Structures are given as structure tokens and as C-alpha cells.
Amino acid sequence: MERWHERDTLISTSPQMASWSPDTPCSCDCFVSVPPASAIPAVIFAKNSDRPREEVQEVVFVPAGTHVPGSRLQCTYIEVEQVSKTHAVILSRPSWLWGAEMGANDHGVCIGNEAVWTKEPVGTGEALLGMDLLRLALERGSSAQEALHVITGLLERYGQGGSCREDPMPFCYHNTFLLADRTEAWVLETAGRLWAAQRIQEGARNISNQLSIGTDISAEHPELRPHARAQGWWDGQGAFDFAQTFSLTQQPVRMEAAKARFWAGQELLQQRQGGITAEAMMGILRSKESGICMDSGGFRTTASMVSVLPQDPTQPCVHFLTATPDPSRSVFKPFIFGVGAAQVPQVLSPTFGAQDPVRSLPRFQTQVDRRHALYRGHQVALGLMESEQDRGQQLRQKQRDLEQEGLEAVRGLLAREWAPPPQELGGLFQAFVEKESRAYA
């Protein structure tokens, strides 16, 4: 039985036990700007999803739904109890799993997650992936804080665990989350079933594959401090610093790299304080020098997202998604929830039913081609950019022009200079995906 008490906390059971590989690649970066850091009266959210180089990320639209009481919901590995109503969501996700790396719902909630390793061992058993928790929170939470409660409640009941990559060699981790809505943001950081959260009501914040919540804790698991004290990680005296207490004493190389990206991201945000826009966030996500735009051996940025969440509830939230790798050579395309919103087939990967390697036991013994149509076209374009200078420059210019067209349309919409019918707004993402596809044809 779940029980919330005074500081939005939840009763705990013992964490799962497991091991992890210090050499496993891991990287992602999430950013948020809350007024007055934003240039406009809006919360601006952004994420780069850094994943195995060949992994395909698709963009999936799921409409709002009503469900039979007591029904079960199949996530990536396990089933959970379904709720009676779920929100419409737009998800950017590795195409082999159920959850998502980042996404938004029709209530203006955005979430991104990141891998993290702490002193708490990682679970070996299959449970909910952090990406499953992210999607469940979007489907069930109508505010950032409500979505946070969804995650911590499910974490308590089902735990987090299972391999997070499509490979017979398990790759497991715990998760941190950045959650945002029209008015505020929350950072949620976990260690097994334990967690701490920080509320962001103004300014800019970023997270990068490491614990970052210090003593400024807005909510926490009730067993967090008692557990730390029982383990000898905290003496119970003085201020309790979550990151200092639960971070690994000896950080692996990848975690040190994440620390460098965290500070670089923080500086990029600070340089733009008071003037942060969607374009500014896109620029940060494209920063190769900082490592935020990842391209390192078997790892790269496989998809990116930027969202504008106006504080005025009469204005629509706008979510820009690439659906393709390397944001420095991709197009951020606008999606808006509305009457005409539907799945765009060009960014949906093929399915393989019961024969899918994620469904067949033992898992991930074979490989399948999950590339969607836009991904294939983008691959050809990337090849031309690298091998044919003139043709490559022409394609890159087409990408820039198309993205600028989308940004101008959104500016006009938020300035109330453009008022298209709802059907056209809902079909905006489809229109831009088709234009990009034609540019690559």
C-alpha cells in the first residue's frame, strides 16, 4: 500500500541488488529554462538522447484513452496495473522498447531521463525501465509534480531494472529525470527505490548522468536518510547532501566525462540567462565542443527534442523533435497536440510481433532492421554531407531553411499573428516530416 506523507515522501522496501560495468557508455543531457531565464513567458525544455550508435529512435503519437478497470498494461519487460484514463502523448523512443527517452503529453508536461550509477547496486531482475517510468508518468500525470508522484509510486511498487539496450550483454542503470510543465520544473534523482527531488521555480537547470541534488531537497523518500546512515554514508550530523552521500566514491571514466558535460551545459545556460529561446536550446544541443552533441565511438546523440511551454494556458505547447541522429545535421520539426494530431508513418519503425528479439527468450539473440523511412533518408543525406561537399552543403542548407520555416510558424502562432484551423495545427509535424523526406529524396 503506497503512503505519501509530509514532504511528498513514500514508504520504502529494500532495494534490488546487482552489478554494473564501469566501462559501459552512458550519456544524455537535459535542460530547462523557467522565467525569468527564458526570453519569453514560457518554460523551455530540451534533451539530447545519447544511445548506442546504430539504435533507431522513432517518434510515436499515442492518443488519450480510457481503459477497463483492473486491466493490465504490458511495458517493456513486465506488466503493471492500467489506470482508467491516460493522456495523449508524443514520445521519442528507442524503437525496440515500450517506454521513451523523452516526450510530452497534452497537458503540457515534458520529461527526459538519464542513466546514473550510485552506491546503491543496480537490479539484475527485469522490472520497469526508467524509460517505462517516463512514459507512464506522461500518460498519467497532468503536471510535473503529479508526474513525479507517478514515477516514485511505481518505483516503490515495481522497482527499476532490466537491460536498457538491445544486446545480449545486459546494460542496466538507475535513472534521473527532468520534469517540466507550464509553470515549473522538477529534478528527480533515484538510487534503487530511494529518491530525492528538487523543485525549480525560476532560472535554468541541467542534468547529465550524475547525481546533482545537494542539500536543496524539496521532497524525498522517507527512508533516504535512515538508509544512508545505516550504510555509514552519512553520520546524521549537519546538512544532508544527497549527491555527495549517494555518488560513487570512485567515478568511472564515463561518469567523469558526464561531469564535464554538466558544467559545460550549466555554463551555456548561464551565458544565455534571460534570453533563452527554443533556438538557443537547439544551439546548446548542437554543441559538439562540449560533448553535449555526442559522437564518441559506439555512442552518439540518436534523437533530440526541444519544447516551448507557454505560461499562458490559452497558448499551445510546441514540441520540436528530430526523429533522426546528430542534431547538428538534423531538423527540429514542430509538433502540437490538436484535433488533427496522428501518428506520422515516416517516423514509425517496423514491428516484428512475437518474433521480435526483445520478445523472444532469451532476449536479443538476433538483430532486426528497425530503420523508419525518415531515418533511411537522413542516413543517405548524412553520407552525402560527408562525401560530396557541394551536394552536402545544399542538403544542410535545406535542413536549415526547413527548420527556420518551422520556428517562424511557431513564433507567429505564439504572437497570435497566425491562427490556423485546429486540423492544420495537429498536422504540422506530418507536414514538416514530409517536406524533410522530399528534401532527401
Question: Alpha helices of 85-233 — where are they, by DSSP H?
Answer: 130-140, 144-158, 224-230
DSSP classification of residue 38: B
Tally of CA atoms within 13 A in the half-sphere of 425 that contains its CB = 18
| Catalytic one of 26, 28, 110, 293 | 28
The closest of 419, 433, 281 to 347, measured between CA atoms, is 433
- Residue 100: Cβ within 10 Å count: 30
28 has catalytic annotation: yes
Residues in the chain: 441
Residue type for position 116: V
Question: What is the dihedral sign for C-alpha 127, 53, 61, 408?
Answer: positive
Grid cell locating 107 = 497537458
The closest of 147, 47, 130 to 87, measured between CA atoms, is 147
Q: Which residues contact 391 (CB under 8 A, 6 or more apart)?
A: 384
Q: Which residues contact 354 (CB under 8 A, 6 or more apart)?
A: 360
Strand order in the sheet with 102-105: 57-62, 89-94, 102-105, 110-116, 174-180, 185-191, 194-200, 219-220
For residue 109, give Cα distances in angstroms to 83, 213, 317, 410, 428.
18, 21, 9, 18, 20
Grid cell locating 37 = 531565464
Contact 402, 297 (CB under 8 A): no
CA–CA gap between residue 290 and residue 295 (Å, rounded): 11
Tally of CA atoms within 13 A in the half-sphere of 313 that contains its CB = 5
Catalytic machinery residues? 28
